[in-house]
Amino acid sequence: MPHPRSLFNPRALALVALMGLSPTAAGSAPADLYYERSLMAEAGNRCGLFAPQVQSALVSAREQARGTALRAGSPPRDLQATFDRARARARSVPCDSQDIVIAAQRVRNAFEGYARLIRLDFPGDLYTWKADRSVSAQKVFWRLTQEVQQGEDQMRFGLAGRGGADNLMAVARFSTDEAPYAARIVMRNRSLTTGAYLDSRGESLRTLPLPRRLPKSGPYEGYVAEARSQAGTDLLPPGVRAGWAFRFPAQAAAAMADLDPRESIQVEFQFGSGSTRKIYVEVGDFAAGRAFLAARPS
């Protein structure tokens, strides 16, 4: 399976630069790619330029470009300003202008193969999100998942559902026989902080352990699981015969998608003995994977 970035051909947006809709040539820097993909995604949304498969592909590619730019050192505030410029430019160009018509056709051609993809991997620094756009009316299965092993504890985390309806879930198996009675997601509070907490202490951010990608003492925002049950075999991690499934509110997925891809979140499991087990998840390209799922392949 090719890396998602290879499926978005920057040359398809080169015309956008020539039209004066982009400040620089396509692909010249991560922040420039973010501008170009944001511009066409916003124009597509405003003018109804693309089929759902292409529009979701553009949004996914935009989020990947954002993650790449952040990992390359672009400040989050600068990227927000870049997005605002792209949105303003997209809103100022008439939907029926020849420039937009030509650029939109180039984008459609670039994504002809992408629209038929069923599965795609989104590699992160330490873990990978695996996306699956299959749809079943009978079977519940993972649509976007990250496999985590922490000591002897195993967890599958991500979006699972039936018939295209996705729920944020954690399915875990623990080294002890004790069953967790509750779970919650803990992440950086976005409204009370100015950006990601990354405790590098001179180390490479690309290899930074997940516990050091979350503030030690807050401020946090948390999301308590809405439901708990024994996990079905189709949702369990590989080789695991039994485990516990927790479903979280939709707001948790939206909040996670808004985080810096270099961050981590923490899933806390609480036991009747009073103990708590914490398992960490890399945010990575969760937002890009979520956008990939937004439309069924043609």
Closest C-alpha to 45, from 3, 107, 98? 107
How much is the pLDDT for 282?
A: 97
Q: Report the pLDDT value the prediction gives residue 111, as an integer from 0 to 100.
A: 77
207/125 Cα distance (integer angstroms): 7
Confidence of residue 8 (pLDDT cuts 50, 70, 90): very low
Per-residue model confidence as pLDDT tens digits over 169-184: 999 988 877 899 999 9
* Residue pointed to by tokens 């592909």: 57
> For residue 10, is pLDDT > 90?
no
What is the number of other CB atoms lying within 10 angstroms of the CB of residue 234? 11
Of 19-33, 126-140, 165-179, the one with minimum mean pLDDT is 19-33
pLDDT at 19 over 70: no
pLDDT at 298: 61
Question: φ, ψ for residue 200 (rounded to 5)?
Answer: -80, -35
Give buried/exposed letters for 257-269 (b at 16+ CB in 10 A, else e).
bebbbbbbbbbbb
Question: Considering the chain, what is the average pLDDT of its residues?
Answer: 86
The pLDDT value given to residue 4 = 36
209: preceding bond cis by omega (within 30 degrees): no
3-state helix, strand, coil in the chain (%, to 5): 35, 25, 40
Band (pLDDT 50/70/90 cuts) for residue 20 is very low
- 297 neighbors 288 (Cβ within 8 angstroms): no
- Tell me the domain boundaries of the chain: 4-116, 119-285
Q: Which long-range contacts (CB under 8 A, 24 or more apart) does 202-208 make?
A: 205/71, 205/125, 205/262, 206/71, 206/125, 207/125, 207/126, 208/125, 208/262
Residue 238 pLDDT grade (very low, low, confident, very high; cuts 50, 70, 90): confident
- For 239-269, write each residue's pLDDT tens digit: 788 889 999 999 999 999 999 999 999 999 9
User: Residue 14 has what pLDDT?
Assistant: 38
Task: Quote the pLDDT of residue 18.
Answer: 31
Q: What's the confidence (pLDDT) of residue 172?
A: 92
Q: What is the pLDDT of residues 56-108, one digit of tens each?
A: 888 998 999 999 999 888 888 999 999 999 999 999 999 999 988 999 998 88
Does residue 113 register a pLDDT over 80?
no
Nearest to 120 by CA among 278, 290, 268: 290
Contact between residue 166 and residue 293 where contact means Cβ atoms under 8 Å apart: yes
Nearest to 151 by CA among 279, 56, 5, 24: 279
